[in-house]
Amino acid sequence: MSALNHTHDADARSWVDSANAAGCDFPIQNLPHAVFRRAGSAEAFRGGVAIGDQVLDLAALASKQQLDGPAHGAARDAARAAALPALNDFFALGKGAWKALRHALFELLKHDAPSATVQALRDCLVPQAEVEYTVPARIGDYTDFYTSIDHALNISRLMNPDGDVTPNFRWIPTAYHGRVSTIGVSGQRFHRPMGQAMAPGAKAPTYQACARLDYELELGVWIGTGNAQGEPIALEHAGEHIFGICLLNDWSARDIQFWEMAPLGPFLAKNFATTISPWIVTMEALAPYRQAWTRAAGDPQPLPYLENAANRESGALDIRLEVWLESEKARNEKTGPSRLSATSFRHQYWSVAQMVTHHTMGGCSLNPGDLFGSGTISGPGEGEAGAIIELARAGQSPVTLANGEQRSFLEDGDAVLLRGWCEKPGHARIGFGESRGTVLPARN
């Protein structure tokens, strides 16, 4: 687990004024990574770091002398890798290199940096309002977990008021392998999927456009360093393999899903689109917001390979999350999106470290740039559901938007926005930006 250090100082300020504004997602205590270029340009994509409302262009920084000299050797090499059009090489350098670059950038961006440094770095800043992003790494494999007991119970009880999770849920972090080719960055627009669905009481399925389109509020976990095939990652070392976290929307075609997933699991219902936020918040930046990971006394306690004192002490992360929906009507009338729900990742039944460890226990190798989905994040309270199927009770209780429109499931033209941040007394607020995706009509 990352220890607290001077980069977490709540009083630290940047010479980039916008980074010091109240409510800013990207103060100097954050410094998340993305891959960007100026919007509409033919520029090469390259790595950047967010500071306030600006992107620090790492390719431009690498061409200057600010990281020259023996004291910055590791940071200079890391900056060059982090400036590439995909972050895989940077991920592969490991935790020491990630930390060296973060700490060097913190010093360069502090309010008391030398004037020559400030002058040089101003030339490396690009306004975020003028850029476009791409998926920040070459994703070799994508695994989507199912680790919220509140979500699992909500889904089970839609079919049976006394329903419970499957027996294995309380023993293992369950997951399925997803499709990399349709993972897109915030701003993704996709067509409503076609597929087979079986209507209640019908004797044969029909081929049709999805009628029960849903979102899923999730986090994306980016793997940094991997492991060799057949060499599991022990729980005490899992944190060394995790680079950082983004927002992730696992769009779901519920009518297609319920028909196809017996006996194997999700297929077409999950492979048409997945939308991630462009910014990856590092695990070091998230260190102040760790909490004790707990398990109810009446539930089975983890098997030994998924259990240790460090995970109990600080395995949970208090990442606050919200889901917003902007209908086409609201967009045209410029009335703004409606908030559907809010919760925290701290309620998740399994920790990120446990997901990594369990994933490798059978001999599976992970590689730099692999992506995990956390599974839908729902909390125990009213209004904490991470999917509209829960909020609207499978269409029985439609959700009313701020402009009076109602939704049982998503309609064409709807945009779903995921937002996330961390805050805690005595520490700076840091954010994740936004994941936004828009539903287009089906193609038949």
> Could you tell me the pLDDT band of residue 84, with boundaries at 50, 70 and 90?
very high
Work out whether strand 142-146 and strand 371-373 pair parallel, antiparallel, or are unpaired. parallel
State pLDDT tens for residues 298-311: 999 999 999 999 99
Residue of 106, 79, 120 whose CA lies nearest to 19: 106
Place of tokens 């992506």: 371
What fold is seen in the domain 6-134?
SH3 type barrels. (2.30.30)
**Residue bearing the bigger pLDDT, 425 or 444:** 425
State pLDDT tens for residues 346-404: 999 999 999 999 999 999 999 999 999 999 999 999 999 999 999 999 999 999 999 99
Question: Active-site residue among 8, 72, 103, 151?
Answer: 151
CATH class of the 142-440 domain in this structure: alpha beta
* CATH 2.30.30.230, the chain: domain bounds: 6-134
Interval 317-335 mean pLDDT: 98
Q: What is the pLDDT of residue 444?
A: 77
- Mean pLDDT (the chain) is 97
Neighbours of 142 (CB within 10 A): 21
State pLDDT tens for residues 14-58: 999 999 999 999 999 999 999 999 999 999 999 999 999 999 999
Which two three-digit tokens encode residue 226? 């991997």
151 flagged as catalytic = yes
> C-alpha distances in angstroms, 85 versus 55, 59, 82, 202?
15, 10, 8, 50
* CATH 3.90.850.10, the chain: domain bounds: 142-440
Q: What is the pLDDT of residue 331?
A: 98
Q: What is the pLDDT of residue 73?
A: 84
pTM over cut 0.95 = yes
Interval 142-155 mean pLDDT: 97
Residue of 270, 282, 301 whose CA lies nearest to 373: 270
Q: What is the pLDDT of residue 72?
A: 81
Residues of the chain above pLDDT 90, percent: 95
Q: What is the pLDDT of residue 1?
A: 63
State pLDDT tens for residues 157-185: 998 989 999 999 999 999 999 999 999 99
Q: What is the pLDDT of residue 89?
A: 98
Neighbours of 444 (CB within 10 A): 9
Element of type H or E holding 93:
helix 88-93
Q: What is the pLDDT of residue 71?
A: 67
C-alpha–C-alpha distance, residues 373 and 277, integer Å? 12
Q: Taking the alpha carbons of 36, 340, 328, 268 in that order, is the dihedral positive or negative?
A: positive
Q: What is the pLDDT of residue 70?
A: 73
Question: Would you list the DSSP string of 284-295?
Answer: TTTGGGEE----
Q: What is the pLDDT of residue 46?
A: 98
Place of tokens 């940096």: 113
> C-alpha distances in angstroms, 86 versus 44, 83, 133, 228?
11, 8, 11, 22
Place of tokens 């994703």: 139
